[in-house]
Structure 1
């Protein structure tokens, strides 16, 4: 008789929905290991702005893949998927429950479903794509991409620099549209008995939490954190440089914006991002359960029961 795949839990949802708190509660209740699935928290930089769990929380249960890469490093979904798969295997071997927590949908897709088999792109091609985008600006670059690859350009938001550059570099390196690569059968993924729980609180409450959390980050020293980060002189197109609030606070430090305006702009950017995340999870992820509230202590009993039933399912 073939044994069922080993269990794994996914805690997903938009920023500020309570994912880290829920993951920690589950790890303590079910002897689990929390594995980071947030593309910003994987870097050893800007822990306040990226809302990395506190040192107290990191010490309260095993946490993996938090702050493990240098800020100058590049982490793709495929690379993270390999790291996460290894951590899941280590958790199972230790008799613990892997709990993946984060809001980066493509990262979660990498382990739950696998990714399209796009070849590695040479670094010089990547650099040329980003340099060209920076020189032309998003609108002109999007038009250029559309002249060569209308289908992929139609799928992309002209304001999303990272995805525009990605589409161009794949086309340049492979001679084939990213759309065609995405149509290929996916590869990778981890064979597990998945239970995915998406936190999807209503927007008014979520937006209020985004605002109050950023205010708390400022009170905890986020401006000094950004000042130290800017002193490193890192390239502005690195993934970690896109951490929510970094650009606005850096503009204030450069004398381009007063602090009140910078904080308001950062809060708006956070709310916009939370909205995009919520849309992605509603349309792109088949969740086992959707909790239409922000995580709180009052939800623990209900969620614990659902997880316990999943773990007992053969």
Structure 2
């Protein structure tokens, strides 16, 4: 598909680590530029996890249109491929309305799919998924990675032993389709945004000490603002803990807390440290996978974008 943008509706893409102020920046830009905020964060899609995933507040959602937030139940095995289809539909709607799309989030893979495309891989059935996951528990990641090295050496070379989820995904695709994941990925379709000049791109790049302080304060605010109740809701649903939604930072720690397996202070510290480690991984992704995206301090981002936009 191809969209035609003009100077007034040219997309803005805002990436950045967790707690760096992306959502607030997107809302302010949307108010100034007649824009629609589109979610590019893999965890903010889940309906039951508003507080834990720091989704925009109802007040912010009332200020400007927001799309692809909270539209997926936690029991749904949502994927980056499905998001790519959803975002293409969202861009079409925003384009037809003559508004400016402002895509914001911390999931680097989503931005890569948006600008580089993603292979259309058939869905994997639950029976296959369960069988491969059972093998992981019994045999361990090194054994499955060794098998992948024989059956799909290209994917194995790309996937480190420290990433069991990607090892599982590659083996699931092999079992379900009889075709290596690397083969499916070799010829992806055109992305929704085809040309680099179609979008204005920015990565928020905060000072590390500033960000660590933000993470600490936000962790406390989340637990006081309803994240524990969200965890109780998920616990009552008795879901498969291998679902993608369980990767929401802090969810597993809170589930242990509500089950009486951990104390409150230890839970707060675990969530804080896990979130810090995640932010570090995000910095690494943005530095290595998005090296040509302009960087900006959060406090300077609005001024930088206004200069680029000429407003």
- Relative to the length of structure 1, the TM-score reads 0.88
Unaligned runs of 5+ in 1: 310-314
The residue number in structure 2 matching 1:131 is 134
Cα distance in 2 for residues equivalent to 1:308 and 1:254: 53
Question: Equivalent residues in 2 for 1:196-211 (5 A)?
Answer: 196-211=201-216
Which range moves more in the overlay, 133-142 or 278-287? Answer: 133-142
Give 1:162 deviation, angstroms: 2.1
Give 1:204 deviation, angstroms: 2.4
Cα distance in 2 for residues equivalent to 1:203 and 1:281: 15
Give 1:195 deviation, angstroms: 1.4
Confirm whether residue 304 of structure 1 aligns to residue 306 of structure 2.
yes
Instruction: Say whether the 8 Å CA contact 1:5–1:191 is kept in structure 2.
Output: no
Shift in alpha-carbon separation, 1:167–1:195, aligned structure 2, 3 A: same
SS of equivalent residue, structure 2 residue 237? coil
The residue number in structure 1 matching 2:81 is 78
Residue deviations 1:266-287 (CA, integer Å, cap 9, x gap): 1111111111111111111254
Cα distance in 1 for residues equivalent to 2:202 and 2:301: 13
Confirm whether residue 142 of structure 1 aligns to residue 145 of structure 2.
yes
Which range moves more in the overlay, 117-126 or 243-252? Answer: 117-126
Residue deviations 1:226-269 (CA, integer Å, cap 9, x gap): 12221111111111111100111111222222221111111111
Confirm whether residue 277 of structure 1 aligns to residue 282 of structure 2.
yes
Residue deviations 1:23-75 (CA, integer Å, cap 9, x gap): 11111111000011111111111111111111111111000010111111122
Residue deviations 1:89-119 (CA, integer Å, cap 9, x gap): 1111111001111111222222211113434
2:256 aligned to 237, 251, 255, which one? 251
Q: How many residues align?
A: 303
Cα distance in 1 for residues equivalent to 2:147 and 2:264: 37
Which range moves more in the overlay, 42-51 or 3-12? Answer: 3-12
Confirm whether residue 13 of structure 1 aligns to residue 16 of structure 2.
yes
Cα distance in 1 for residues equivalent to 2:81 and 2:47: 19
Instruction: Say whether the 8 Å CA contact 1:197–1:287 is kept in structure 2.
Output: no
Give 1:122 deviation, angstroms: 3.6
Confirm whether residue 236 of structure 1 aligns to residue 241 of structure 2.
yes
Cα distance in 2 for residues equivalent to 1:170 and 1:97: 37
Which range moves more in the overlay, 117-126 or 219-228? Answer: 117-126
Instruction: Say whether the 8 Å CA contact 2:39–2:67 is kept in structure 1.
Output: yes
Cα distance in 2 for residues equivalent to 1:217 and 1:139: 36
Question: Equivalent residues in 2 for 1:205-220 (5 A)?
Answer: 205-220=210-225
RMSD, matched Cα: 2.2
Cα distance in 2 for residues equivalent to 1:286 and 1:188: 21
Cα distance in 2 for residues equivalent to 1:254 and 1:140: 32
Give 1:5 deviation, angstroms: 4.4
The residue number in structure 2 matching 1:38 is 41
- Relative to the length of structure 2, the TM-score reads 0.89
Instruction: Say whether the 8 Å CA contact 2:39–2:105 is kept in structure 1.
Output: yes
Give 1:143 deviation, angstroms: 4.1
Give 1:157 deviation, angstroms: 3.4
Which range moves more in the overlay, 103-112 or 150-159? Answer: 150-159
Question: Equivalent residues in 2 for 1:127-206 (5 A)?
Answer: 127-146=130-149, 148-182=151-185, 184-191=186-193, 193-206=198-211
SS of equivalent residue, structure 1 residue 231? helix
SS of equivalent residue, structure 1 residue 276? helix
Cα distance in 1 for residues equivalent to 2:94 and 2:105: 18
